[in-house]
């Protein structure tokens, strides 16, 4: 079996998709290495094992897949549910999530475990919405960990990289539903981006910039604005030129898979993601890398990438620049307000692998941390050193999985 992009063939010997908690416990009781597997959207082997991969997308624990508490607004979600499916269920009940990733096709537990994120100066990662988890350990014990009841453990258990057990349910904060409009400014001069970065990213609820770094201007700046009655498109700086046709984030690609643009307001779940759930958004084979840096170094990071454009641009489909708010989770790459540089590469494995150390040499001095589920070159020991509470996380993993059965693929190299 392979991952979503087809760049990785798993070493796992078996795939289990238990339908009940008892079946999940039976799989775990068999012994041997195991790893949780989400929607297979990781580009490295963080979900791999030499034993059995476990997906919970078929798991039925007797509760609704998206069980909303109307009094608290907390929704308890089947961990294998995709965000697109969850968001539709919430919209029907008049509720929303504060943020969504660009793809609605990813599973809730997988996105949370790797600190996947959307965009917005005030929007933290998807993991920040978590208030509780239910986890079955490798010894078959079902445990519930909440922010309220387990404050010493909870911040280490959310972005867990699948190191603690098989997450069966995730509890998320929700908010009242809201509408969003999307507007695209095209060919925004680099001087405008560098001089007015805060004005641009603060002009809408969520903002994404798309570039190949060697272009004379930023190809697109996508503004996702809250859209109460009479809302207008943002005007952060003078002289922006607005697209009058829908656009795909990749140059010269049909935007049919994209969510509605051109200022047409619609519900949050049909706008916050870049792509529609019913479409496969990829233009074909691709690789992905992402580095997360302190927001205070955003301009310096952009200048470094422009300097590297001759080496980077020939391998790129596009690069997306986003902002993400801070959270308090131990292995979250967002200990402070951050900027994200997300690279979508052509599937030229050897060449991409060769350029990653060059990028890291430029960005690591600025505080960059790699996304857990993407491609990067940094040695696992050096990655762990980027997280002040990594030692506590390792101890937590030892507690939950004392036999080390979950330590496969990249996780084995990270934890040793």
* pLDDT single digits (tens) 76-130: 999 999 999 999 999 999 999 999 999 999 999 999 999 999 999 999 999 999 9
245: how many CB neighbours lie within 10 A of its CB? 9
The set of residues, in sequence order, having a beta carbon less than 8 Å from that of 357 and lying 6+ positions away, is 377
Residue 14 lies in a domain: no
Three-state secondary structure of 278-306: CCCCCCCCEEEEEEEEEHHHHHHHHHHHH
Q: Give helix then strand counts, H and E, for the chain.
A: 12, 19
Query: How many Å separate Cα 341 from the centre of its chain?
Result: 12
Residues facing 9 on adjacent strands: 2
User: Token match 């909440």: residue?
Assistant: 146
Give the domain CATH number at 278. Answer: 3.30.70.2520
Distance of CA 411 to CAs 46, 124, 131, Å? 6, 24, 24
Alpha-carbon gap, residue 257 to 154, rounded angstroms: 37
Place of tokens 């001087």: 191
Domain tally, the chain? 1
Sign of CA dihedral 73, 79, 82, 85: negative
Instruction: Kindly give the confidence (pLDDT) of every residue in the chain, 416 residues in length, as a single tens digit, with 9 standing for 90 and above.
Output: 898 888 999 999 999 999 999 999 999 998 899 999 999 999 999 999 999 999 999 999 999 999 999 999 999 999 999 999 999 999 999 999 999 999 999 999 999 999 999 999 999 999 999 999 999 999 999 999 999 999 999 999 999 999 999 999 999 999 999 999 999 999 999 999 999 999 999 999 999 999 999 999 999 999 999 998 778 899 999 999 999 999 999 998 999 999 999 999 999 999 999 999 988 765 558 999 999 999 999 999 999 999 999 999 999 999 999 999 999 999 999 999 999 999 999 999 999 999 999 999 999 999 999 999 999 999 999 999 999 999 999 999 999 999 999 999 999 999 98
In a domain, 326, yes or no: yes
Q: Is residue 406 part of a domain?
A: no
Write the pLDDT tens digit of every residue in 264-291.
999 999 999 999 998 876 555 899 999 9
CA distance 77 to 112: 12
Q: Is residue 387 situated within a structural domain?
A: no
Radius of gyration of the chain (CA): 21
Q: Which residue range forms the structural domain that includes residue 357?
A: 179-370
- Confirm whether 203 is domain-assigned: yes
Question: C-alpha angle 307/308/313, rounded to 5°?
Answer: 120
Long-range contacts at 200-206 (CB < 8 A, ≥ 24 apart): 200/236, 200/237, 201/121, 201/323, 202/121, 202/236, 203/234, 203/235, 203/236, 204/234, 205/120, 205/123, 205/180, 206/99, 206/118, 206/119, 206/120, 206/123, 206/180, 206/272, 206/322
Q: What is the pLDDT of residue 231?
A: 83
**d(C-alpha 235, C-alpha 202), whole Å:** 11
Is 148 within a domain? no
Judge whether 229 lies within some domain. Answer: yes
Q: Does residue 185 lie in a domain region?
A: yes
**337: Cβ contacts below 8 Å, ≥ 6 apart:** 121, 294, 295, 296, 323, 324, 325, 326
């Amino acid at each position: 079996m392979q991952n979503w992009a087809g760049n990785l063939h798993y070493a796992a010997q078996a795939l289990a998709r238990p339908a009940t908690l008892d079946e999940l416990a039976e799989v775990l009781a068999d012994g041997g290495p195991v790893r949780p597997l989400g929607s297979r959207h990781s580009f490295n082997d963080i979900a791999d094992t030499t034993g059995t991969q476990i997906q919970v997308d078929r798991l039925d624990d007797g509760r609704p897949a998206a069980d909303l508490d109307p009094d608290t607004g907390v929704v308890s979600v089947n961990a294998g549910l995709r965000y697109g499916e969850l968001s539709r269920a919430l919209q029907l009940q008049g509720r929303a999530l504060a943020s969504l990733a660009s793809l609605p096709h990813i599973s809730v537990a997988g996105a949370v475990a790797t600190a996947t994120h959307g965009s917005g100066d005030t929007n933290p990662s998807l993991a920040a919405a978590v208030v509780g988890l239910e986890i079955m350990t490798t010894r078959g014990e079902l445990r519930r960990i909440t922010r309220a009841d387990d404050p010493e453990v909870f911040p280490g258990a959310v972005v867990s990289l699948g190191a603690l057990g098989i997450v069966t349910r995730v509890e998320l904060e929700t908010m009242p539903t809201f509408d969003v409009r999307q507007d695209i400014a095209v060919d925004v001069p680099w001087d405008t981006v560098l001089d007015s970065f805060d004005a641009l990213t603060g002009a809408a609820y969520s903002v994404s910039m798309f570039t190949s770094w060697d272009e004379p201007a930023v190809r697109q700046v996508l503004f996702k604005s809250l859209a109460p009655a009479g809302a207008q498109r943002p005007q952060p700086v003078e002289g922006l030129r607005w697209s009058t046709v829908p656009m795909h984030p990749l140059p010269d690609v049909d935007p049919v898979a994209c969510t509605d643009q051109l200022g047409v307001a619609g519900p949050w779940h049909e706008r916050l993601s870049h792509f529609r759930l019913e479409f496969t958004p990829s233009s074909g084979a691709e690789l992905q890398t992402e580095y997360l840096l302190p927001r205070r170094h955003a301009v310096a990071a952009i200048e470094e990438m422009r300097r590297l454009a001759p080496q980077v641009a020939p391998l790129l489909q596009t690069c997306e620049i986003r902002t993400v708010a801070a959270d308090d989770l131990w292995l979250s790459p967002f200990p402070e307000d951050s900027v994200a540089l997300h690279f979508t590469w052509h599937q030229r494995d050897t060449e991409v692998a060769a350029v990653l150390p060059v990028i890291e040499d430029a960005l690591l001095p600025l505080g960059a941390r790699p996304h857990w589920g993407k491609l990067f070159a940094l040695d696992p020991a050096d990655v762990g050193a980027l997280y002040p509470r990594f030692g506590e996380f390792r101890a937590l993993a030892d507690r939950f999985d004392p036999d080390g059965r979950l330590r496969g693929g990249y996780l084995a190299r990270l934890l040793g």
